[in-house]
Amino acid sequence: MFHNIAPYLKKYRKQFIVGPTFKLLEAILELTIPVFMSYMVDYGILRHDAGYIWRTGGLMLLIIAVGLSSAIVCQYSASVASQGFGTALRSGLFSHMQRLSFSQIDRFGTDSLTNRVTNDVNQLQLAVAMVIRLVIRAPFICIGSIVAALLIDWKLALIFVVAVPVFVTVLAVIMGKTFPLYGKRQQKLDRLGATLRENIAGVRVIRAFAQEDRQQEAFSSANEDLTGMSIQVARFSNLLNPATTLIMNAGILAILWFSGFRVDAGALTQGQIIAFLNYMTQVLATLIVVANLVVTFTKAYASLGRINEVLETQPDIPFDHGEPFTKTKAILVFDQVEFSYPGEREPVLSNVSFSLMAGETLGIIGATGSGKTTLLNLIPRFYDATKGTVFVCGRPVRDYSLQELRGMIGLSPQRTELFSGTVEENIRGGREDLSLDAVKRAATTAQATAFIEAMPGQFGAAVERGGANLSGGQRQRLGIARALAQEPAILLLDDSFSALDYATDQRLRAALRENCPDMTVVIVSQRVSAVQTADQILVLSDGQPAGLGTHDELYATCQAYREIVDSQEK
């Protein structure tokens, strides 16, 4: 189970050696303190030897100083290893999630993945720090204290031998109760995150329909579920500290009781009793630490399972496998394609076939829910066809690496996502090799130049997160410009003209034909005007092709298309 995170820990092998070594040195020095304390009582205080007291006290201070220095070195090593491990694991998880298909991301859920990258990694990060700082020290102090007590008086030390197994039994019972509950608690946290994200993202709609009270109830329900589960976990885990204290204090009382008889018998000195009590106190403190460690490691183990679930999910669409892209005349072909979403019985698309030549435009139109966007998502392999084959340049899309395939496709999605930064950075889409002239050409074709040049700073103007400072039409034009700037062989426009007025829509399509004559374009739209000049128009009805042809051909032969045209003209 730990093999998935082992690569992220290898870099910190030195810290895993240095940290525990210095912590072990600190523990050894700590175990000598009760011995020197007993010597100070027996040979210094009882004999009124001030010099012995000063010498022993000075030696104890030196031991404490060395122990403190060792603890600082260990703490530094733990910080470097845990923080570095957490950073690397978060990056690795994020990179792995980028390779998962849309269906796999849908299965996990956005909010669950977010919690795994943040909350669950934090739990593992804390566990790594605790491993370096305490995993060696705690058992060493506990065992060392028992051994030292046995050397002083083995009969009295039997109290230790009885107390520790009782504590371990209590510990095992509480662990067995709490471990499954931590996984359920994380699931409740996922649900709360999903509710919170949904409410924040949809706050405008919620207020527009005066649904604040209803959403408050939904959030309160998720919050109370999490609270209830947290309380249930706490009821068990919080028993550790009082149980530990009860057991160890009972041990201290037993030592005080029986040591009196041992002193009367001359088997123990007063200093040895003090040493005995100090060792018992050390065991008590150590077992309390162990109790807290168990809680930390139980949480971490539950989080490890959730992280492994992501890391062990292999992308069902390989990212880097395939043959290089080569252009052919038939650039896009669907051959009897069928698609069903995971878990759905009925196909969303079925019997879809068409062929699109280089430089041609395909319009896709149909009622809401007819599968237009789903069809578009099969081309860049956001999803894989359930049956049939999608060909790009004469080769099945499964034969390309995703990087190669998506490098030749430009997409302007149904909902334009912009990022905080500048206009130029959003059009570049992360490509630093694009010149400013290429960015401006793409903006010109997308009919975005006019409003960009009217903004303060023009192409250097700030874009807020999600494009909140832009209108819907401006966001769509920037999204189209971003797709065009990649100079793709295939341009996919998913209802990208919906927020544009008809004049801008017409100018944009004319600019595409004039400036990108060799680019193959697929336009999904609800507007007949956006697709009627296309070389081919595919009409979808309930996921099935209802017609394929030009505007005039379909109007004459396809009733579904004629109804759409007539309804929009009227």
Angle between helices 13-39 and 50-99 (to 10 degrees): 160
- C-alpha 502/C-alpha 224 separation (Å) is 50
Mean of the per-residue pLDDT values of the chain: 82
For the purposes of burial, counting CB atoms within 10 Å of the CB of 60, is it exposed (0-12), middle (13-18) or buried (19 or more)? middle
The torsion region of residue 210 among left (phi > 0), alpha (psi -120 to 50) and beta comes to left
Per the CB < 8 A criterion, the answer to whether 280 and 157 are in contact is no
What angle is formed at CA 366 by the lines to CA 361 and CA 372, rounded to 5 degrees?
65
Give the total residue count for the chain.
Answer: 570
pLDDT digits (tens, 9 = 90+) for 87-145: 888 888 888 888 887 777 777 777 778 888 888 888 888 888 888 888 788 888 888 88
Q: Which residue has the higher pLDDT, 208 or 379?
A: 379
What angle (nearest 5°) sits at the alpha carbon of residue 460, between those of residues 459 and 463?
95
Give the model's pLDDT for residue 142.
82
- 554, pLDDT greater than 80: yes
Say which amino acid occupies 536. Q
Average pLDDT over residues 420-435: 81
pLDDT over threshold 50, residue 325: no
Q: What's the pLDDT at 448? A: 85
CA distance 544 to 366: 10
Q: Which two tokens stand for residue 565?
A: 């045209």
pLDDT in tens, 370-415: 888 889 889 988 888 888 889 988 888 888 888 888 888 888 887 8
Mean pLDDT of 352-366: 88
Q: Of all residues in the chain, what percent are helix, strand and coil, respectively (each to 5)?
A: 65, 10, 25
Contact partners, residue 191, CB within 8 Å, separation at least 6: 111, 222, 225, 226
Q: Higher model confidence: residue 53 or residue 69?
A: 69
In what order do the strands lie in the sheet containing 387-392? 349-357, 330-339, 387-392, 395-396
pLDDT at 329: 56
Report whether pLDDT(322) > 60.
Answer: no
Instruction: Report angle CA 404, 408, 413 to the nearest 5 degrees.
Output: 115
pLDDT for the residue numbered 286: 80
pTM, full prediction: 0.60
Q: How far apart are CA 159 and CA 290, in angstroms?
A: 19
pLDDT of residue 320: 53
Confidence band for 73, pLDDT divided at 50, 70 and 90: very high
Query: Above 80 in pLDDT, residue 262?
Result: no
Walk me through the domains of the chain, giving residue ranges and CATH numbers: 6-311 (1.20.1560.10), 330-569 (3.40.50.300)
Question: By percentage, how much of the chain surpasses pLDDT 90?
Answer: 2
Res. 291 pLDDT band, cuts 50 70 90: confident
In angstroms, rounded to a whole number, what is the distance separating the alpha carbons of residues 541 and 350?
10
